[in-house]
Chain A
């Protein structure tokens, strides 16, 4: 059944797929054809319908219209289990793991090896998973529970899980969003070897350079319909972007800071055992400082430490000269700090609540009227920030969960801006956000900076760090190991510091702290 497919016949075809949710049409006659042994990029802005199409291919959603063909035969999946049994594996954008189960169980869920009497053969499972993780170059202990793993490690577990199915079609919804360059490279090596075995890979990414480097064919969706499809050679990057957004993108990153003001944030000797050590830096008004480094270098932890979410062992944080009490986010907020967290769905938003409620969560006092929440004030606060950030939403009373990633991020940003912060700490500002919305968020951040906000940004997206930051602080294993000027830094100099091979680079780019 698997080997007889002729090379010319696409292994998976979706034709004329239409799907609506309530009144909103997510897909209108979208089509896609993936051939065995190819990497196929599915591109499009957020809201273009990529994730809906993936969910239909995965059997999670049923299409309203249109047909799916697998190896030439029409198929209709009644659930994810049927799609998996047919050989379609999906890695979803948001890790969908079981925190209480072991890594091995997560990877092999649904097909654990059996011992006598049908019991789970834990030893066999552990050694199989150890082997798979070893092939991926990330030797995590298979018996450890998933709870507490970093997002990058969770992504690796997701990948192993998808691979464990012996899939014919592997769909990856932004697998590299949380990975470092090195981890991405390992993932692509695995993808290449799968392709050589005849597996078809559908790759959803917002990093165009990845699509051009790794994929042979592109399919571009816009507004739920097919915008273009063809071999890579038929597209130039500018053409892809134009097809995705329907207009050319003038400039990818905004201008750098022109003038900086007073020092707003001073971090001195910040230390938390096991996370980061002796972190010093200062940020001025009108300046974006990026913390760069590998995932796990302690960047997010530093932000959490500054904001007082985790207690710290030593060190002090001053905002505009005033010392901020440690381990007290409320004090941090009063001092003028705001933190936009890494994982907006889990930490930044209450998905089921409306945009208005989310946007005003951090300023309960501002929306109160005689002790009660005033709908008028809530609406006013939200509309102000929705307009300034150019939020695109149907109604402000809609649940935040219905927005696209870029607009969700704007709500989180708006929520914090409503507190009138002087220093904005932002963790992975554009993870999982498409090219168009990303450029827009970058412009908004630059505007905020030009209005005198001091911004500390953590990002694993190197082009973003290089394009946005006025200064780049590189962390490695919990320590600050280098400081680069944004205008002079290159991917190489940042990575040399981040990986600890900076000796040659230091003289080139380091600036006294």
Chain B
């Protein structure tokens, strides 16, 4: 946290500084962890090892993009895991019936289906004024229920999927898996949108002070609608990619994903209280959690420790945020008096 103290005391550029400190901190932890594990077991950073981590992280990081947009508005979407499950099975069923469907079409259909499910959340939250936590907890179960009713204990295996589709998850450009590259591009794209475009800034405004947003002429209901639909659409796309990655899908696909996604976003500096964060941060958070999970395997730590460590990291991240924001406020106060 010494980097925070070195920030300019006049207060200028502190927004950016906090973000950079936060993300730089994550990168440092990530590097320390990776190099530490590498020292114990060099295979950890082999081309295959890195590729495994990136593939594991890609789907979480992707869903975290949409979740971040929703969290920025001081809302939450718990139903993403069920959307992933539904679209994963849907895509599988589609390929099983029509093996020659063009893959981009299925990706688009997945996003559309997810967007449709997200629209239900949007309707409940933006127009029904149901608190997002309750609304999306409800749809988490309802969507999963549909999934069970539809799948009926069936399973779709890699054998019934087109090989070209499965290559989506195995192909790579150099050391970089195609899947991770795709997610990276989306992260960069949405990150730029949220940072640089007035529409993107409105998500921050809504989460920072909803009433002020309304008074400033921002259509808050429309922002909420778009955020939830976007989050659903991205989860839908992630569902199709989930199928490509794992090759098999049943009714439980993606269960529990929602909490891992939220954890990744929070570790990555997205404030659960809205208004602060970035999709890049959330993606870094996902990468850190994924790296830890893999490091624990490589270090032969019993897998049940993984959750404990993830949880501890979450608490550490929140504590760090708290300390940084307190230090910043104090700094600004002193800057005000000194300047």
- Taken residue by residue from 35 to 69, chain B's Cβ proximity to chain A (1 for < 8 Å, 0 otherwise) reads as 00000000000000000000000000000000000
Q: Are B215 and A60 in contact (CB under 8 A)?
A: yes
Stretch at the interface among A31-39, A137-145, A240-248, A353-361: A137-145
> Which B residues, 322 to 339, have Cβ-Cβ distances below 8 Å to chain A?
328-330, 332-334, 336-338
B198 and A120 form a contact (CB under 8 A): yes
In the assembled complex, the CB of B337 is this many whole angstroms from the nearest CB of chain A, namely 5
B205 CB contacts on chain A under 8 angstroms = 98, 101, 105, 109
Cα–Cα distance between A102 and B19 once the two chains are bound (Å): 13
Q: Known contacts being A81-B219, A100-B276, is A148 close to B332, with CB within 8 Å? A: yes
B204 touches A98 (CB 8 A): yes
Within 8 A of B (CB), among A93-140: 96-102, 105, 109-110, 112, 114, 118-120
Binds A, one of B8-16, B81-89, B147-155: B8-16
Q: How far is the CA of A92 from the CA of B214 in the complex (A)?
A: 13
A141 close to B334 (CB less than 8 A): no
Please tell me if the beta carbons of B219 and A141 are within 8 angstroms of each other in the complex. Answer: no
A477 x B11 contact (CB < 8 A): no
Residues of B with C-beta under 8 A to A275: 333, 337
Q: Is B209 an interface residue (CB 8 A)?
A: yes
The reply to whether B337 and A274 contact each other, CB–CB distance below 8 Å, is: yes
CB neighbours of B197 from chain A (8 A): 118-120
Contact in complex: A96, B211 (CB < 8 Å)? yes
**CB-defined contacts of A92 to chain B, threshold 8 Å:** 215
- Majority-rule SS of B interface residues: helix
In the complex, the answer to whether A101 meets B201 with C-beta atoms within 8 Å is yes
Q: List A contacts of B337 (CB < 8 A).
A: 274-275, 477-478
Bound: A486/B323 CA distance, A: 43
Q: Are A99 and B16 in contact (CB under 8 A)?
A: no
Expressed in whole angstroms, the minimum distance between the Cβ of B187 and any Cβ of chain A is 17
A508: shortest Cβ distance to chain B, in Å? Answer: 29
Counting contact residues on chain A (CB < 8 A from B), the size range is: 35 or more
Closest B residue to A478 by CB, please name it. B337
- Whether B15 contacts A144 by the Cβ 8 Å rule is yes
Known: A143-B13, A273-B334. A96 touches B209 (CB 8 A): yes
The residues of B that contact A296 with a CB separation of less than 8 Å are 336
Residues of B in contact with A, size category: 35 or more
Q: Does B213 contact A (CB under 8 A)?
A: yes
Given contacts A80-B214, A98-B208, A275-B333, are A144 and B201 in contact (CB under 8 A)?
no
Bound-state Cα–Cα, A85 to B216, Å: 11
Interface check A382, CB cutoff 8 A: no
B12 lies within 8 A of A141 (CB): yes
Q: Does A145 contact B14, Cβ atoms closer than 8 Å?
A: yes
Interface positions, chain A 61-88, Cβ under 8 Å from B, are 79-85
Q: Is A368 part of the binding interface, using a Cβ–Cβ cutoff of 8 Å?
A: no
Closest chain A residue to B274 by CB distance?
A: A100
Name B162-212 residues within 8 Å CB distance of A: 192, 196-198, 201, 204-205, 207-209, 211-212
Q: Hey, what's the 0/1 contact readout for B4-43 against A, CB within 8 Å counting as 1?
A: 0000001111111000000000000000000000000000
Does chain B have a CB within 8 A of A392?
A: no
Residues of B within 8 A of A478 (CB): 337
For residue B332, which residues in chain A have a CB less than 8 angstroms away from its CB?
A: 144, 148
Which of the residues B196, B274, B328 comes within 8 Å of A119, measured between beta carbons? B196
A377 at interface, CB cutoff 8 A: no
Instruction: Beyond A102-B15, A143-B13, A144-B12, list 12 extra A-B contacts (CB 8 Å).
Output: A60-B215, A81-B217, A83-B217, A85-B217, A97-B212, A98-B205, A98-B208, A101-B15, A101-B205, A141-B11, A143-B12, A144-B11
**Interchain Cβ contacts under 8 Å between A and B, 10 examples:** A60-B215, A100-B15, A101-B204, A110-B198, A112-B201, A119-B196, A141-B11, A274-B333, A274-B337, A477-B337
